[in-house]
Structure 1
Amino acid sequence: MAICLKVSWNRRFQRAVFRATQLLCFSAIISELMNHKVAAWTYHYSPLAYSWNTSRRYCQTKHTDLVAIQNKKEISHLNDVIPYYSSYYWIGIRKINNVWTWVGTKKNLTKEAENWAENEPNNKQNNQDCVEIYIKSSSAPGQWNDEPCGKRKRALCYTSSCQEMSCSKQGECIETIGNYTCSCSPGFYGPECEYVKECGEFNLLPQHMLMNCSHPLGNFSFSSQCNFHCAEGYELNGSSKLECLASGIWTNKLPQCLAIQCPPLKIPEQGTMACLPSAKEFQYQSSCNFSCEEGFALLGTEEVQCTASGEWTAPAPVCKVMQCQVLEAPSKGTMDCVHPLAAFAYGSSCKFECQPGYQVRGLDTLRCISSGQWTAPLPACEVIVCDPLESPVHGSMDCSPSSRRFQYNTNCSFHCAEGFMLRGAETVQCSDVGQWTMPAPICQALQCQDLLFPHKAQVNCSYPFGAFRYQSTCTFTCEEGLLLVGESVLQCLATGNWNALPPECKAIACAPLLSPQNGTMTCVQPLGHSSYKTTCQFICDEGFSLLGPEILDCAPSGHWTGSPPTCEAIRCPALFAPEHGILDCSDTHGEFGVGSTCHFSCNKGFKLNGSKYVECTASGRWTVPPPTCKGIKSSPTPEMHCPALIIPEHGTMSCRHHLGTFGLNTTCYFGCKTGFTLTGDSSLRCRSSGRWTAVTPACRAIKCSELHVIMPIVMNCSNPWGNFSYGSTCMFHCPEGQVLNGSARSECQENGHWSTIMPTCQEGPLTTQEALAYFGGAVASTTGLVMSGILLALLRKRFRQKDDGKSPLNPQSHLGTYGVFTNAAFDPN
């Protein structure tokens, strides 16, 4: 290979040797390429999405650059091998000086390589200067779309196969799929651009002509230059210097040594001039032809000649711009024109727009072309018309001013037949862009409430217009051994309501049970509320103990297996102040219930022996034995004290004494019992002035939402700590002849919520037992108490649907849809 680079080509007789040597070298290069695999152009993509600029930096850092696609074959290859990504990939095309350019090669995009998607590029007219490729798109696979450069997409990169010595450093290495080709620099050719173009020697120099040449790359080859001058008494006509071009042609013809010439001619503005034998040699018998650029006309002689007297046959002509007809704005429209050269002349463009409610008929932009004609006839403004509308099935349509033309500002209103409801806009309008403001609506059959099929029942339904919609009909039958109570056939009416309540398959029931005061009750009811096989479990609140059976069952006789239990408060033994001491307890009534706390302190001159605080536990015992007070020696120096603090009602107090009881820097912390909230500072400190940093805080009862009575229900409430506050209990009952649906008692709990939701009163003979049996659900296991919370949520949703459907049963009063009932507290929200 080294010998191939050292061959000399300075003399003519060496050229044959050089060419033979180059052929041998080329064969050696081919052989070497056959034995060594050329690195292929490979494709890569980023794992993350970036802006176009960041994507290019990623490709230049990790590979070569963003992909520079050469042809549509390569586009097809990329679409096959690159995986799909929802926001697609950036490629190496960008608009530079308003021209789409391959940034890696700085070449303009060619028509052969274009692969724009339909209506692209620049369909939005908003600085979409970067290009993405739709890899594996369902509608436009492999096609391109221009996008704003700041959007985030994955980078589609390539790694170059071109090397430093590729194309003999005398051409451009062009990547192809799996290989590369050489695009030789001007003046070079061959597979690796190893040969130099030759222009050839001058066979015979003109008379009186002298020549001096230089040959940097070979005799009369590319870059060779020859300088000419005439002998004394002659004037050089032509170029004094010729150069061998990359095309193998000299830059000009050989100059001549001629006599006196005509004066030079000036090329007309917006025109061109061509002379023979040369535009630089205005000698005797020279001729010059003139022409104008597109859009200009020649005024004067098209051709002039140099005469024997050294004068031209005529003056040089001039070029004048072509004029088009003057335009006017159409009726109901406006016109905006741009005149770069002259008013309504070649290059002028006029844009037309119409008033609201009208649109341009014809081209909205006209241009004056080189023939002096406009690109199209003058457009007109015609009224905008929307697509025709039709009346919906099972409905009607009324349009104003007319339902025939559907022009701009036409309003159409829609109505549905009995039993059907409009779905969509009730009124639509034809806008100034020829589009309706909303799609045309449809008429949909009214929806009745979904039916809850009774337990142990068989149901057969028909739905002419959809499930549980207008004219739906359901027939009910009970399993053997159960009695159908109610209508056997239900029909969805035109009002969106069923003609009757669903029937039930009735089972034996026990009397309803209530949760014990200060406790909760959880029931499993496989056959309905308080029915046969119902099991109820009772649990007392913290601080209370159960008196009576923990579990009751509804027996086949219709009676419970025992009497309902009660919850009694747990109390600790009574406490008394120690001798020479003080006792201060949170329970001001002296009941010493669970959670009660007591604080002990000694008189001046006595010291507390034991714990300052005791608390009543759930076992009915104090946390520690009560302390005693022992005498101490008097201090020679009196100590600063603050006034003794009193534990707030329904609250707790804990103090840290630095210098004795309520001495300097003593800090006391306050809290409230369950159901109460603190008002004031949560901590106080004894200052050197003998005063506390703030007044003693107070504990206020937590408020529940105010209950609003719905007639004719009657409510009686007890409010120990304020209206509708913690500890308030409300009892409900109905007038004679009406039945209470829901719990007859509700308490305001420590979380600010009522233990049960507001009940209602219902007319007629439907008992609580019957109402719950009506909503019977699937059989639940008697051991499935843990599922009660989930089932309650389902029940609440189902009863809310029944309430929306104008059901006469209040959904808040029935909790037996799936055979589980609980009277425990829950949040209705």
Structure 2
Amino acid sequence: MPLVCWLGHLLAVVGLVLQPAGSLKAPCPIPDITHGQLEPAQNFTSGSTATLTCDPGYVPLGATSTVRCLASGRWYPRVPSCIPGHCSYPPVIDHTDRNPQREFPVGTTVTYFCRHGYTLLPGVSPVTTCLQNLTWTTIPKLCQEVQCPSPNIQHGREMSPRKDEYTLGQQVELQCEPGYVLRGSQRIQCWSDGTWRPPVPYCDKVCGPPPKLTNGQITSLKTELFLYGSEVKYRCVEGMSLIGDDSIYCTSDDGVSLAWSKPAPECRVVRCPRPMVERGRMTPQRFTFPYGAVVRFSCDEGFVLRGDAESRCLADSTWHPPLPSCQPVLCPQPHVANGRLNSTLDGKMWYQTNETATFECFQGYHLSAMSSTATCLPDGNWTPLPKCKKDGDADACEEVHYIKAAFECGVPIAEVKTLLEIQKLLLEVKKLNVELQNLNK
């Protein structure tokens, strides 16, 4: 007992002994104790005792919880107080560790974790709590030794004797049945979380050897195992044509079994006849036309292509699309404002190349050009058409507008120059006429 407490206790006893007989006894006050109270609850007089009772989760401060009321009206020893309670160290659980914590007041939670090579039992909480009665919530067995399930691989097996369970660090090697190939790692290991790493592989079905090609060969044969999606390509020996697709691939129609997408192509001698298009030309120029050969056509001047400009030699020795033809270029029926056709061709809707049409003007109009004819050109257009000018209109201005329109419509420069020369001569003639009229006056 500390010296101060011992002296206080001695003075209290001396005071009690020296108290005059018959003197008044002072009552002790009921103390206000946070989180606690004195029991029994009554009026405390000299010599009576009381016991301190703390609220749940609290404990008395000091060595004793019993006090006595002195004749002086004071409590001895001094009324203790209630402080928060603490739990002792949490229980030790096999194969676990916890955080390095030293104090555990009421309400503290502690979480356990399993040591390497062990894993938590399913459905068991690894947490314990310090209760108000200063005990820990019950916690059962938490950890069990890590075990990996036996790797299940369809169409495959383990190379070593099979077990029901495997412990941490154990390795397994796997292989597939004939006709299947292993997709993934051949060797796997049991990991600390009870899983296999790398993940358990699987056995994938493969296609059988690809069909052979008579008079040909496979050009992309790099493996003997043909997985889903594998492709092989074929080619024929020199002098023969490949009939069909040049490649096939390993696929599945039902999502389970694998097979080649189609039979192998064929190698045959295929020739198409020389394509002949009258009044036409062919490119490229060649002498033989094997299967798959492609040719393009164009027509001579004055003729236009009817049909497809390109054709291919098929396996049945025919051309597809069918060969085109070259038809003569035709010009549509020409029309002149304020005039009409005046020839045996009048009434025709189309005119062949080099055909000529003759025109005449309606009453009150006259031709403004030297020529009254137009000719159908090889490109399907007419030479410049004559124009019908109203009697009395200014010839020169009209001809200038006509020449301008012809130039803007794409008439060749040589023809425009010719028109200009003609108009120049026409102006000279008109000038001479005017001078002659002035001389006759």
TM range (shorter): 0.3 to 0.5
Give the TM-score of the pair, scaled to structure 1: 0.23
Give the TM-score of the pair, scaled to structure 2: 0.38
